[in-house]
Amino acid sequence: MTTTPPIRVVVADDQELVRSGFAMILDVQPDIEVVAEAGDGAEAVEAVRRHRPDVALLDIRMPRVDGIEACRAIGAIGGACRTVMLTTFDSDRYVYDALHAGASGFLLKDVRRDDLTHAVRVVARGDALLAPSVARRLVEQYTRPATRPRPADPRLGLLTERERETLLLLARGLSNAEIAAELVISDHTVKTHVGNVLAKLGLRDRVQAVIRAYETGLVTAGDGG
């Protein structure tokens, strides 16, 4: 019988009690292994380089190198490590900057332990996750007129009609199963469409696809729900 290897995690936070608390919650899970802890962003990047984890939990505010810069540096290393940002600061600027740095998840530090472990599992399997309050703020960011210039993306023209429909439904927050039901296609076909959207637009995950849809004006808050 083949045993699935545990999800390898690095936890980075400059507050030792917070860091050890998150590490303890995760390490008792049978399918998760904390391979390193770090007290700042520079240590986190080095830990990722050394241990090649699947997921890095990064506090946004850390000395020397903050979580957002560490996220960018981890992305530059290459490999499969994905990042989840942790913060007490529920602010638009942090959401926008963290997601554009390549984060696949964004959670507030008052997250429940079950939600924390769920987030690690979701991100490790290649999906993306936002706390509900963070998702609302991200949408609000693009409902205000003239908050940011909306760049044109000629790569949108590469999408087929079905892929464009899939992107619109992603931006509404639908899961693959919900998209399949909406378009009356199989889950497998939805996964193919999502993969094509990400590849054609040069994106790494669903969160970045949602951001691109709002940034370019392809979708605005309230479209279809």
| Interval 79-115: pLDDT, tens | 789 999 988 866 656 777 887 788 888 888 888 899 8
Identity at 125, one-letter amino acid code: R
Instruction: Compute the distance between CA of residue 218 and CA of residue 102 in angstroms, rounded to an integer.
Output: 21
Share of the chain above pLDDT 70, in %: 83
How far is it, in rounded angstroms, from Cα 157 to Cα 161? 10
Are residues 22 and 57 both part of a single domain?
A: yes
Based on the domain organization, do 159 and 132 belong to the same domain?
Answer: no
- pLDDT at residue 67 above 70? yes
- Give the mean pLDDT of 182-202: 92
Contact 53, 45 (CB under 8 A): no
Question: What is the mean predicted confidence (pLDDT) over 45-64?
Answer: 94
CA torsion angle 156 161 166 172 (round to 10) = 80
pLDDT at 224: 45
Domain containing residue 117: CATH number:
3.40.50.2300
Give every CB contact of residue 95 below 8 A, 6+ residues apart in sequence.
Answer: 106, 134, 137, 138, 141
- pLDDT for 150 beyond 60: no
Name the phi and psi angles at 215, rounded to 5: -60, -45
Asked which of 7-11, 63-67, 75-79 is least confident by mean pLDDT, the reply is: 75-79
Element (H, E) at 194: helix 187-201
Asked if residue 50 belongs to a domain, the reply is yes
pTM of the entire predicted model: 0.72
Q: Which range marks the domain in which residue 175 is found?
A: 154-215
Region of poorest pLDDT, from 83-92, 124-133, 137-146: 137-146
Q: Largest alpha-carbon pair distance within the chain?
A: 57
Written as six digits, the tokens of 51 are: 């241990």
Q: Which residue has the higher pLDDT, 140 or 184?
A: 184
Q: Rounded mean pLDDT of 171-185?
A: 85
User: Does residue 147 register a pLDDT over 60?
Assistant: no
Q: Kindly list the distances between the CA atom of residue 201 and the CA atoms of 61, 99, 154, 156, 167, in Å, as whole numbers in the listed order.
A: 31, 16, 9, 7, 11
- pLDDT at res. 142: 55
Number of domains into which the chain is organized: 2
Q: 2 in a domain, yes or no?
A: no
Residue with more model confidence, 151 or 76: 76
Domain final residue, candidates 140, 172, 191: 140
Domain boundary among 90, 116, 140: 140
Pick from 4-13, 101-110, 185-194: least confident: 101-110
Per-residue confidence at 152, pLDDT binned at 50, 70, 90?
Answer: low
